[in-house]
């Protein structure tokens, strides 16, 4: 971590404002593997910007992720939607992986919605089911807060993660869909899928889902004071829990098949969030 990472986020936020015509954004949404159709379900974009034009972003190399950000308005909320992300396993440093979240926070976002595709460990989960993330296990061995302390004007790197995923936002999500389940997400570095033995270990540690993203972004967002809502789409049973093997193309396909209706759910949650903000302001 260095001053340069935060300066890069501020520079990207300034480019975002210039290219979208929006002086700031209230909410950021990061879409996971195969989730791109969810962006269409959120509504018409006021602006769409290639991430390369913002600076500081690496090009995603994984199918199911697009290097594009959309700016749109939902109710009274100005929403920034990333149609993909980068991962540690692509060879990127942590600062690059969390650059989108830091840019969104520099642009004014106080809520960050992180979505992903995951393998289901909890036996009650079914493929295509969205799960609220109640907590995570960061097993990547990395943190966006290591190294020198943050530059002046930023919070302590000893960030409190007692409520990494906002209880208030999870309550709003359940108001939109009372049937939503909650679970613990385990983040591993990948890119290989886990072994059945690793899945048994994760289950014993309390994990309900497993994937290769989200945790580092959540840490970066919480460090910058943003509330985090995490939604994981179960795209396959985890290793050893079904007779078939694991294939990324199937993960992307499962995500795409459910993404449009998940986008409708996201829209409902954001509408409730905007209403809640208006009530608080009143």
Whether 92 sits among the annotated catalytic residues: the reply is no
Q: Where are the domains of the chain?
A: 3-281
Give the pLDDT band of residue 65 (cuts 50, 70, 90): low
Check if 223 is active-site: no
- Residues of the chain with pLDDT > 90, as a percent, come to 65
Q: Please give the mean pLDDT across all residues of the chain.
A: 89
136 a catalytic residue: no
Query: Is 33 considered catalytic here?
Result: yes
* Burial status of residue 60 (CB atoms within 10 A of its CB: 0-12, 13-18, 19 or more): buried
Specify the range with the lowest mean pLDDT, choosing from 194-208, 216-230, 234-248: 234-248
Q: Contact 231/183 with Cβ under 8 angstroms?
A: no
Rounded Cα distance, 260 and 256, in Å = 7
Could you tell me the pLDDT band of residue 276, with boundaries at 50, 70 and 90? Answer: confident
Q: What is the mean pLDDT of residues 243-266?
A: 72
Catalytic residue among 71, 116, 138, 213: 213
pLDDT value, residue 170: 97
Q: Which is catalytic among the residues 47, 53, 134, 248?
A: 248
CATH number for the segment(s) 3-281: 3.40.50.1580
At residue 246, the pLDDT reads 59
65 noted as active-site residue: yes
Q: Is the pLDDT of residue 281 over 50?
A: no
Dump pLDDT digits (tens) for 164-205: 999 999 999 999 999 999 999 999 999 999 999 999 999 999
Q: How far is Cα 36 from Cα 66, in angstroms, rounded to an integer?
A: 8
- Residue 22 has a pLDDT of 92
Cα pseudo-dihedral 89, 92, 94, 100, rounded to 10: -100
Q: Is the model's pLDDT at 208 over the cut of 70?
A: yes
Q: Is 87 a catalytic residue?
A: yes
């Amino acid at each position: 971590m260095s001053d340069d990472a935060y300066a890069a986020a501020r520079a990207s936020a300034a480019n975002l404002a210039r290219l979208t015509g929006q002086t700031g954004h209230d909410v950021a949404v990061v879409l996971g593997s195969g989730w791109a159709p969810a962006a269409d379900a959120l509504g018409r974009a006021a602006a769409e910007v290639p991430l390369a034009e913002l600076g500081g972003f690496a090009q995603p190399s994984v199918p199911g992720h697009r290097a594009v950000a959309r700016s749109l308005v939902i109710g009274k909320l100005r929403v920034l939607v990333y149609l993909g992300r980068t991962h540690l396993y692509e060879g990127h440093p942590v600062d690059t992986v969390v650059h989108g979240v830091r840019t969104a926070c520099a642009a004014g976002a106080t809520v960050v919605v992180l979505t992903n595709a995951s393998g289901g460990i909890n036996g009650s989960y079914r493929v295509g089911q969205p799960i609220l993330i109640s907590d995570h296990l960061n097993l990547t061995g990395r943190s966006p807060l290591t190294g020198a302390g943050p530059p002046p004007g930023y919070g302590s790197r000893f960030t409190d993660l007692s409520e990494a995923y906002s209880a208030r936002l999870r309550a709003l999500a359940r108001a939109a869909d009372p049937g939503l389940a909650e679970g613990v997400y385990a983040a591993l570095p990948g890119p290989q899928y886990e072994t059945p033995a690793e899945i048994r270990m994760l289950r014993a540690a309390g994990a309900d889902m497993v994937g290769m993203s989200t945790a580092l972004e959540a840490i970066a967002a919480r460090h910058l004071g943003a509330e985090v809502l995490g939604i994981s789409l179960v795209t396959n049973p985890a290793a050893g829990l079904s007779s078939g093997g694991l294939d990324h193309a199937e993960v992307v396909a499962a995500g795409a098949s459910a993404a449009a209706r998940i986008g409708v759910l996201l829209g409902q949650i954001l509408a409730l969030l905007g209403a809640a903000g208006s009530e608080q302001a009143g």
